[in-house]
Structure 1
Amino acid sequence: MDSPPAASPAPKVYKVGTLTYTRGRLIQVMFWMLWGDFIFQLLESMPTVTPLLLRWHGASDTLIGLVGSLSSIVAFFWYPVVATQSDRYRSKLGRRRPFLLWFAPPVMISLVLLGAVKPAGVWVHGILSSLGNDSVTVAGCSIAWIMVFVVIFLLFNAYIVQVFACLVADVIPVEVMGKFSGFYRAIGALGSLAFNRWIFGWVEAYTFHVYLLIGLLFAGAFSLIIWNVKEGEYPPPPPKAPGGPLGAIKEYLQTCFRHRFYLTFFTVTLFFWTSLVPLGFVVFFGTSAGKAGYAPTLNLSLQEFGEVKGWTFVVQMVIFFIVGFFVDRFHAIRVAVAGMFLTTVTYFCCYWFVDSKHTLLIWWSLNQAAIAVYLGSAMAMGPRLLPRERYGQFVSANLIYGMVGLILAPPAIGWLLQRVADYRYVFIFCGVLTGLAFVALLMLYAQWKRYGGDASFAPPDPVAKTSHAVTP
């Protein structure tokens, strides 16, 4: 008698929270999120045009610098509010998508109005002149218009930045987070490349048209995300802290900045973000823009330096596509440790071995490849290591730590460079800072192992007065 045919294996199922995906459905969700990431990078490239808008209307360097600092100020003070709001919100649409639905339109409108600065400046000047105010100029009205809508854009865009990042953790299963993070970084880099290659050059001649195009693309892409990406159900939020706003601030600080595990996590970000500050001075080492009395530079033309930098972007995009597979296989924290170690080593190699365009291309490309390994794994670390019920809150706390470094480091690095009078030392400064980040990562890895590691890690209770690690 013939034996019955063997049953075909059940299709692979992926879960995150209460969401369950087949492979096909997961691919659809990842497609829409990555499409949103591409358009999101176009949107986030627009603030780089703001200094040019101000300069074209006669703004001083001081005013341009002041407006440029607004994004850091908004991020430092406003992002924690936004993140906590979305963590606590519950609705039929979930806790993230309602904020995308509500704030995408004002982001688009403020962006379009920012692009309309040329006719708007003339219009405002005409109104004020008709009211008898002859002291104002068209340029002054245009600058005021830019400043107003930059602030409005930053306040509303904070919801998009924070909520979209948190939505990733809520809808992408942890088991494929590494691959998704790598693709996310690579697609984001493609978005930035597309803006700089095909859009940036048209901004001066077609300012309003560029802003309108990006605004419409953003609104359309995020409307599709809201429609096609579904959230699961969430447990009830924790009770609100007593004491009103001051009580909420106290609870935020005590929750995020008490537990050693999370402080170590934030410290990695602090040192790594700070290491990006001296890297900004590498253009002075590579070109002939060094100061008199400083050590010799490579004396490359801006075009030659741009070619080298462009190749580093290509290398990073390739690494981003690859690193996710290693993250899912070996865990994000292990890949991050390897990436940070290689980043530190290659920074010191840049200091020792770079003496021409050719050697700069080799060692800087290796360095940027190592950074891509870390960045691709770091994005996947958050969903694995931070409390899911307070994920947005801890993401904002991590950002605060990073912003401290970005705020304090520039004057310190500038002072150090004046003391050593050699732009080659930017690689030493970067290497020291990433070395400190590597030490912090090793500490984080040891704590992760004590809390269960691969076998049983769960994010420790952030408000527990004492922590109890898992012992072997």
Structure 2
Amino acid sequence: MTAPGKIWRAGTLTYTTGGLVLLCFWLLWGDFPWAMKDRAVGPSATLLIKQLGVSDFLYGLIIVGFPNFTNTFLSPAISYISDRHRGRWGRRIPFLLFTTPFIVFGIYLMGLTHLLGGWLHEGIPALPEHHAKLIVFCIGWILLDFGATLSASLFNALANDVVPKEVLGRFFALFRMVSLAAGMIYNAWLINKVENHALEILFGVGTFYGIGLLSLCWKVKEGEYPPPEAEPPLPGGAGKKRTLLLRVAHSAADYLRQSFSLPYYRWYMAASAVASLAFTPVNFFSIQYAQKLNLGMDRYGIYLVITYCCSLVISFTLGILSDRFHPLRTGLAALILYAVLMFASFALMADAVYFGVLFILHGVVSGSFFTLTASLGSRLLPHGLFAQFSSAGGIVFAAGSMVMGPALGKTLDLLHQDYRYVFLIGGFVTVAAIGLFVKIYHNYLEHGGDQGYRPPMPE
């Protein structure tokens, strides 16, 4: 990954090869509990909430729609503030520290769904027990979502700030490998135990997350940043009192103007969002599909372990390909392959045997797309406003997810849970993503391409 004796630079930071390896160690150490949280909490939440007898529509509303609703305003706010923050501990780490307790206690509370829900029902007998448990679950989900939404855009922004750009593709491939390892651990040994041991599993995940993130924030050091841009002037002249509400309003207007004024970035955000949404149908309803086919969670977990093993083997090679050929080209190739797979899956899906093979292929190809495009934002977005533009893209994705999650759930309710249609829907969304990726590739070439790319800057 590195050349001996070479000096690596990321902004004002410089590393020897040994220093770069140490940086990667601490970032990957922090990424492992982060990945375990991502890999474990989502499936565990699905199993917990389905135990409470909710419909697919309500599931889509809570698990898919609500987090993306909060993402539309929380992520932009923290990203805008973080890009402009200058402090002793950097511009990302203080905010990562702030979000950690919310995530930890949210995971704890979800693990206590059955215990506290039972107590709540005993205290309020008129409240049905499954409603009481759903209330406890949702409170924990809200706490977790608040912390996770705030921190999600900052974690990659930290890596973008401290990792040299020459190795970003390979570095994000290592991130991906750590995430896959976490997924293998969870699905090999824990997923089939969630229904009976959610408390122990989620308490372990929450504690591990807290330890890992605190370690990362302690050991990783940020560099110096240029002074932030001056805040836009308030109407009425400099003498007018700057009330908090007015400052927030003008900061929001500045955020929206900078992020969405240029068509170049609007196309980029649309392409990134639609590509991510293409994988949503299968990802969010695969557990329900497996249960309808009478597959136990142990077998479902084995399918995921096989998926992650395959992805783990190829991840670093994909990172090298991304660095060499550019994530736009490699991501487009992955989308084309995924579209073919989705339409073939809809035609072939008939029983549990086909489900296993096609589900594994879905995981490998969709995972390859994320590995191949992990450094896309770092390659296309303005460095000084990276977190802001990333969060603006998150708004577009969140808006699409808020519609797609409940809409998918309602559609599947109307189709009497015929989950075969998640493949067909995923295929059509992928075709749209391919068209958008072709558009932003042409835009990339118009702004210098491989030889002289310069990201356009908003006024």
Shift in Å, 1:173? 1.2
What residue is the counterpart of 1:266 in the other structure?
A: 269
What residue is the counterpart of 1:172 in the other structure?
A: 163
For 1:273-284, what aligned pairs fall within 5 Å after superposition? Answer: 273-280=276-283
Say how many residue pairs are matched: 440
For 1:88-99, what aligned pairs fall within 5 Å after superposition? Answer: 88-99=84-95
Give me the TM-score of the superposition, normalised by structure 1: 0.80
Q: Is the 8 A contact 1:342 1:367 kept in 2?
A: no
Shift in Å, 1:48? 3.6
Q: Structure 1, residues 274-298: CA drift from partner, whole Å, max 9, x if none?
A: 3224435985998795xxxxxxxxx
For 1:388-399, what aligned pairs fall within 5 Å after superposition? Answer: 388-399=383-394
What residue is the counterpart of 2:151 in the other structure?
A: 160
Q: Structure 1, residues 5-52: CA drift from partner, whole Å, max 9, x if none?
A: xxxx98111111111111111111112212222211222222443355
C-alpha separation in 2, matches of 1:302 and 1:114: 23
Q: Is the 8 A contact 2:281 2:422 kept in 1?
A: yes
Give me the TM-score of the superposition, normalised by structure 2: 0.82
Between 1 and 2, higher relative CO (CA 8 Å, sep ≥ 6) is seen in 2
Largest Rg, 1 or 2: 1
Segment of structure 1 superposing worse, 156-165 or 177-186: 156-165
> Is 1:30 aligned with 2:30?
no
What residue is the counterpart of 2:250 in the other structure?
A: 247
For 1:380-395, what aligned pairs fall within 5 Å after superposition? Answer: 380-395=375-390
Q: Is the 8 A contact 1:319 1:369 kept in 2?
A: no
> Is 1:448 aligned with 2:444?
yes
C-alpha separation in 2, matches of 1:416 and 1:150: 24
Structure 2 spans left out of the alignment, 5+ residues: 235-245
For 1:289-368, what aligned pairs fall within 5 Å after superposition? Answer: 289=292, 310-350=305-345, 365=360, 368=363
Q: Is the 8 A contact 2:278 2:429 kept in 1?
A: yes
What residue is the counterpart of 2:33 in the other structure?
A: 39
Q: Is the 8 A contact 1:113 1:149 kept in 2?
A: yes
C-alpha separation in 2, matches of 1:429 and 1:150: 27
> Is 1:81 aligned with 2:77?
yes
Cα distance 1:323–1:151, how it changes in 2: closer, same or farther (>3 A)? Answer: same
C-alpha separation in 2, matches of 1:178 and 1:320: 10
What residue is the counterpart of 1:212 in the other structure?
A: 203
Cα distance 1:201–1:80, how it changes in 2: closer, same or farther (>3 A)? Answer: same
Cα distance 1:219–1:446, how it changes in 2: closer, same or farther (>3 A)? Answer: same
Q: Structure 1, residues 377-404: CA drift from partner, whole Å, max 9, x if none?
A: 2111111111121111111111122223
Cα distance 1:10–1:135, how it changes in 2: closer, same or farther (>3 A)? Answer: closer
Q: Is the 8 A contact 1:319 1:372 kept in 2?
A: no
Segment of structure 1 superposing worse, 83-92 or 427-436: 427-436
Shift in Å, 1:145? 3.5
Shift in Å, 1:178? 0.8
Cα distance 1:355–1:377, how it changes in 2: closer, same or farther (>3 A)? Answer: same
Shift in Å, 1:270? 2.7
Q: Structure 1, residues 208-237: CA drift from partner, whole Å, max 9, x if none?
A: 433332222112111221122111111111
C-alpha separation in 1, matches of 2:200 and 2:290: 34
Shift in Å, 1:262? 0.9
For 1:370-381, what aligned pairs fall within 5 Å after superposition? Answer: 370-381=365-376
State the AA in 2 paired with 1:311. Answer: I
C-alpha separation in 2, matches of 1:63 and 1:344: 28
State the AA in 2 paired with 1:162. Answer: S
Cα distance 1:365–1:461, how it changes in 2: closer, same or farther (>3 A)? Answer: same
C-alpha separation in 2, matches of 1:103 and 1:29: 22
Q: Structure 1, residues 312-331: CA drift from partner, whole Å, max 9, x if none?
A: 33322323232011112222
> Is 1:11 aligned with 2:2?
no
Give the alignment's Cα RMSD to 1 decimal. 3.6
Shift in Å, 1:240? 2.4
C-alpha separation in 1, matches of 2:211 and 2:314: 30
Shift in Å, 1:456? 2.0
Shift in Å, 1:455? 2.0
C-alpha separation in 1, matches of 2:371 and 2:58: 36
DSSP 3-state at the match of 2:14: strand
Structure 1 spans left out of the alignment, 5+ residues: 1-8, 290-298, 464-472
State the AA in 1 paired with 2:12. Answer: T
Q: Is the 8 A contact 1:121 1:141 kept in 2?
A: yes
Shift in Å, 1:201? 4.0
Cα distance 1:217–1:54, how it changes in 2: closer, same or farther (>3 A)? Answer: same
Shift in Å, 1:259? 1.1
C-alpha separation in 1, matches of 2:225 and 2:348: 53
Shift in Å, 1:411? 6.1
Cα distance 1:287–1:75, how it changes in 2: closer, same or farther (>3 A)? Answer: closer
Q: Is the 8 A contact 2:322 2:373 kept in 1?
A: no
Q: Is the 8 A contact 2:83 2:91 kept in 1?
A: yes
Q: Is the 8 A contact 2:60 2:405 kept in 1?
A: no
Q: Is the 8 A contact 1:273 1:406 kept in 2?
A: no
Cα distance 1:31–1:345, how it changes in 2: closer, same or farther (>3 A)? Answer: same
